[in-house]
Amino acid sequence: MVSFAGVNNTYEEVPDLAKKFINDASNETGQRPKSKVSRGTLVRTHQQHLKLLSEGSVPVRSLVLPKPYPPARGWFAATSTKTVHLGDLQIDSRDRSAVLLLRTVTAPYVWSSTVTVAEDETGDVTRLTVCNLEDNVVDPIVTEGAIVAVRQPCWTRLVDGGYHIRVDHPSDLVLLQPYDDLVPEAWKDDDGKASNGDAAQCKRDGDKMFLKKRFRQALELYTKGLQYVSTTPDSVVEIDLYRKRCGVSIVLLRLDDAAKDLSEAIASHARSTPDLSSSELADVSVVKSWLRSRSTEDSLHISSRIPRPLKELAVRIKFDIGINQTTPEYNFSVISAYVGPLTLHVDAANYLNDTEVRETGSHGRGIFAKKDFKEGDLICAEKAFVLPGYFMQDRNSDCLLYSLDDGTAASRPGAWLFKELVQKLRWNPSLRKEYFDMSDGGYWQEHGWELAGDEELPVDIFRVEYIRRLNCFSAPIRSSDLLNQPPNSNPELRNGFWTHGSYANHSCLPNSIRAFIGDLRFLRAARDIPAGEEITNQYVAPDIDIDERQEKLRTTWGFECDCQLCVTDGSVSRDTRKERLRQFEELKNTVMKLGEKGAPTITSLKKIARALREIEALYSLSSPEGQTGEDPYATLPRLALVHPTLFLTEAWRSVKNVDRTIEYGLKLLRNFGIVIRTEGGKLETVHNAGFVNVETVRALNYLAEGYTSRGEEQLAHQCREKARLWYIIITGSEVGAEQFFS
């Protein structure tokens, strides 16, 4: 129970209680409920909760995933179902072929889940809780008087001692029409089946609902109008109804339905236009395959032969399904200018042509270069499969996601991504394969089944969540925005899903860097990459301590990194590693204290430089135990040295010591694993471990300043050029560079 503003809201789960409860109360499994709540009490309680909701007496929205179980299998068909009643059901025990028919007797409470009161054919009543729907109070899915079929129903215990029917997988709830065969005689109503009526009126009523954001009611009305048009043909109204229903489907992320309706609208337009009636445009399947082709090609000139409103919808659908282009050309300034806190989705195509997904042999599948890439080149660019666009400042968008099975919780970015993924997958069967092809950490192997040849991929919410966790990315609105954040400001990032990009494996020494502009995700080469090489990126910036680093990768993504840095760090004795960390922490504290005192003195800087050299010595002494010889860190990052070196570079710069600024700027790059030679006025990268980031861009900038002061303009120029290139790598484009470098 949630106590909120002094009132108990028993419709909202408290995950910690629910988890304890699930673990403690398994002894009732398979039994019938011991207690029963009367209809009057259920309805009264429900009215109280509707009142709480209307008063805003609700806690932060919490989505709760119970212990995993798969959805009911196969198509829901009246012929293959076993109808049961509430009195037949057991606690926590599901009969996969059973179907419970219910009719709701109240308006729904829609917050963390949709809760209503429903009766079965015998008049028995229950609380019905439907999770993971995409509805809201204004536009509910399970309206009062709705007839629903619950697949594989069972009683689920509530922490307050009661029981309810709980649906987790959206496909386990089927909304029925009162005229459907399966509906019990007593509830049947054949009126809705009528094929005669005023289609134009339906359209007008649908428009009104659309304006009120009651999208589902608008859909119903347009559908009814189309039923009428099928018996009383009227091409103008028909085209309009298909077009409008298409528009609503786009808003609801139902792209499959939208593409179907737009194809019908275009074909109907062609059939009723003398010039086009015998053209390919009159063929729905031709139009549909053009809409879904993922290409800008239009060999039949469809877009130039249809009215503008249809053309605009076609463009929208094509972009939303995804268009591929073969070159890395983008108008970055236009795209970037368009993007803002409320406009993440840009009209741009994917560029995936020059990379391919295949087996790595050791790390599952990965992305590979199909051609040579030069440092800074765009490797691939991809629009998000899903990137939620909630408004960060909106308190109503607060949301949490709990998985009771493993006790994990995701905050708002993850919870919203999960919600939208479920919706997108549920309504777009054509897009499921690309999502469910991603690694789910073995979930489906354990809980699912081998699909039959033509079987539709089920949307199992637990599988959706496992795939989300293993494959999603945190994304800012623009990567360049992050460069202008005050230190330690930690802005909230969104969670998004990019299918192709998700195939990239992690390396602490990556050859690519990812960047975001709105929902476009870019990978650029951090260094030259020859054709055939695997493309890797850092899932997270590596911790200094190898144990912490591996722990993070293991618990979040289920693997341990075997890159050269991890192998080398791992082969250093525990004592040396501990000593490095100890000295690092000590030095960090000294540096912080010094920062608080204002401008540092030369003596204090020399003291820090001495301490830095001591940590440096711990790196050169760190050949694997018992071995002598080459420095194992010769070209590898020395992460414990990075922050003190950055401090010294900036401190020497602040006291205008040019030689020291250059010395430490180069050292900073070197400690990131970027070894630079500057002989003969030429800037040469001897080695680049892939750590291209804002600090390395700054280091180059300080070097440029220093060389300019020393009159070495050629070197300064090369540093500035490289800094610009690295800026493009870390932000995705050149937009904002002028401002950053000034």
Ligand X SMILES: C[S@@+](CC[C@H](N)C(=O)[O-])C[C@H]1O[C@@H](n2cnc3c(N)ncnc32)[C@H](O)[C@@H]1O
Binding site for ligand X (CB under 6 A): 363-366, 438-439, 470-471, 502-503, 505-507, 557-559, 561
Q: Are 549 and 508 in contact (CB under 8 A)?
A: yes
CA Rg, the chain, in Å? 30
Comparing CB distances to ligand X, the nearer of 2 and 367 is: 367
Structure tokens belonging to residue 158:
């509530």
Q: To the nearest whole angstrom, how small is the minimum distance from the Cβ of residue 472 to ligand X? A: 9
Q: For the residues of 655-682, what is the DSSP string, one character each? A: TT-HHHHHHHHHHHHHHTTEEEE-GGG-
Beta bridge partners of 373: 529
Helix residue ranges per DSSP H, 28-118: 39-54
- Quick one: which of 554, 564, 559 has its CA closest to 508? 564
Q: To the nearest whole angstrom, how small is the minimum distance from the Cβ of residue 556 to ligand X? A: 8
Residue number closest to ligand X, CB atom: 364
Q: Are 648 and 605 in contact (CB under 8 A)?
A: yes
Comparing CB distances to ligand X, the nearer of 197 and 570 is: 570
Q: Are 698 and 726 in contact (CB under 8 A)?
A: no
State the amino acid at position 284 in one-letter form.
V
Comparing CB distances to ligand X, the nearer of 260 and 549 is: 549
Q: To the nearest whole angstrom, how small is the minimum distance from the Cβ of residue 460 to ligand X? A: 18
Please count the other Cβ atoms lying within 10 Å of the Cβ belonging to residue 121: 17
In 12-45, which positions are buried (b, 16+ CB within 10 angstroms) versus exposed (e)?
bbbbeebbebbeeeeebeeeebeeebeeeebeeb
Q: To the nearest whole angstrom, how small is the minimum distance from the Cβ of residue 339 to ligand X? A: 25
Q: To the nearest whole angstrom, how small is the minimum distance from the Cβ of residue 527 to ligand X? A: 18
SS3 155: strand
Comparing CB distances to ligand X, the nearer of 358 and 677 is: 358
**Tokens 């496992």, located at residue:** 466
Dihedral class, residue 361 (left if φ above 0, else alpha if ψ from -120 to 50, else beta): left
Comparing CB distances to ligand X, the nearer of 460 and 712 is: 460
Comparing CB distances to ligand X, the nearer of 127 and 383 is: 383
Q: To the nearest whole angstrom, how small is the minimum distance from the Cβ of residue 471 to ligand X? A: 4
Comparing CB distances to ligand X, the nearer of 558 and 681 is: 558
- Overall size of the chain counted in residues: 742
Q: To the nearest whole angstrom, how small is the minimum distance from the Cβ of residue 441 to ligand X? A: 7
Comparing CB distances to ligand X, the nearer of 105 and 470 is: 470
Comparing CB distances to ligand X, the nearer of 444 and 652 is: 444
> Distance between CA atoms of 182 and 149, rounded to whole angstroms?
9
Q: To the nearest whole angstrom, how small is the minimum distance from the Cβ of residue 592 to ligand X? A: 33
Q: To the nearest whole angstrom, how small is the minimum distance from the Cβ of residue 360 to ligand X? A: 7
Packing angle between helix 639-654 and helix 694-709, nearest 10 degrees? 40
Helix residue ranges per DSSP H, 597-657: 602-620, 639-654
Pairing of strands 163-167, 350-351: unpaired
Q: To the nearest whole angstrom, how small is the minimum distance from the Cβ of residue 673 to ligand X? A: 17
What is the distance in angstroms between the CA of the first residue and the CA of the last residue of the chain?
56
- Quick one: which of 469, 470, 472 has its CA closest to 497? 472
Comparing CB distances to ligand X, the nearer of 336 and 505 is: 505
Comparing CB distances to ligand X, the nearer of 506 and 717 is: 506
Q: Are 326 and 303 in contact (CB under 8 A)?
A: no
Q: To the nearest whole angstrom, how small is the minimum distance from the Cβ of residue 553 to ligand X? A: 8
Cα angle 547, 551, 554 (rounded to 5 degrees) comes to 140
Comparing CB distances to ligand X, the nearer of 225 and 501 is: 501
Q: How far is CA 106 from the centre of its chain?
A: 35
Q: To the nearest whole angstrom, how small is the minimum distance from the Cβ of residue 559 to ligand X? A: 4
Packing angle between helix 694-709 and helix 658-671, nearest 10 degrees? 150
